[in-house]
């Protein structure tokens, strides 16, 4: 890739820059399975699995993920329950983050270093309200000119992924457009958002969902690690 051909780079956070997707997956699993074990009513209350995460939760705003999972199982999904379960999951995530901290993927740091040397403006676009705390914990808060978190999206009334609005807003904040910006995403919903926004390049990062699923969702190319996107010496 010739990064100097682009005006801005927009990163998803969890699973792209930091391995916090794994923390999110554990927090979702603990919360949903505790609920399912106590549930006694109509619908499928069999244990929640990683397949459920990738199919219904990954990359979406938290309450949307709760609702979509419950609906997929034929379980009641009143708004008060959606909010309660979503808040339980957020509490579990914050406890793990505070206890264990987080370190960025080494390959992601290599790419961030390269883009910093080029002077390209960078943004994080994350469905998580915890994005600023994760960046601070990873020591990367100063790398990004803007952070469009789930909290920012709610404040501005922007629909979450797979709608493209948060990415489009981030590009505008960096003085760029979809036609000149790159999106890096590991979630199907995020890749769909980049494709829906007609971004010139949507890079799928395969951390477990599968290259075929990311390509089908609209990824222009798929890598397993962002180090693959760091040019060899002498290239930009």
* Residues designated catalytic: 12, 14
- 223 neighbors 105 (Cβ within 8 angstroms): no
Q: How far apart are the first and last CA of the chain?
A: 8
Q: Cα separation of 30 and 28, whole Å? A: 6
DSSP-derived 3-state class of residue 96: helix
Written in H, E and C, the secondary structure of 143-204 is HCCEEECHHHHHHHCCCCCCCCHHHHHHHHHCCCCHHHEEEEECCHHHHHHHHHCCCCEEEE
Would you state the structure tokens that stand for residue 127, as one six-digit string? 């469905």
* Axis crossing angle, helix 131-138 with helix 79-100, rounded to the nearest 10: 10
Label the pairing between strands 8-11 and 181-185: parallel
For 141-164, give one letter per residue: b (16+ CB within 10 A) or e.
Answer: eebbebbbbbebbeeeebebbbbb
């Amino acid at each position: 890739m010739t990064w100097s051909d682009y005006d801005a780079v927009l990163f998803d956070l969890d699973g792209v820059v930091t391995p916090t997707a794994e923390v999110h997956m554990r927090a979702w699993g603990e919360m949903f399975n505790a609920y399912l074990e106590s549930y006694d009513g109509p619908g499928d209350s069999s244990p929640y699995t990683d397949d459920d995460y990738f199919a219904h939760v990954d990359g979406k705003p938290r309450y949307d993920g709760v609702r979509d999972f419950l609906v997929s199982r034929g379980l009641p999904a009143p708004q008060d329950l959606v909010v309660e379960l979503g808040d339980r999951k957020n509490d579990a995530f914050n406890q793990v983050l505070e206890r264990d901290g987080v370190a960025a993927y080494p390959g992601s740091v290599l790419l961030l270093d390269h883009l910093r040397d080029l002077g390209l403006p960078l943004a994080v676009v994350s469905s998580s309200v915890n994005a600023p705390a994760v960046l601070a914990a990873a020591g990367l808060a100063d790398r990004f000119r803007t952070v469009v978190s789930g909290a920012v999206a709610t404040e501005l009334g922007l629909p979450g992924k797979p709608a493209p609005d948060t990415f489009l807003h981030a590009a505008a904040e960096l003085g760029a457009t979809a036609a000149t910006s790159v999106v890096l995403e590991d979630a199907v919903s995020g890749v769909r958002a980049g494709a829906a926004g007609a971004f010139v390049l949507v890079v799928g990062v395969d951390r477990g969902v599968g290259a075929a699923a990311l390509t089908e969702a609209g990824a222009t190319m798929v890598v397993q690690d962002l180090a693959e996107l760091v040019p060899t010496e002498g290239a930009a």
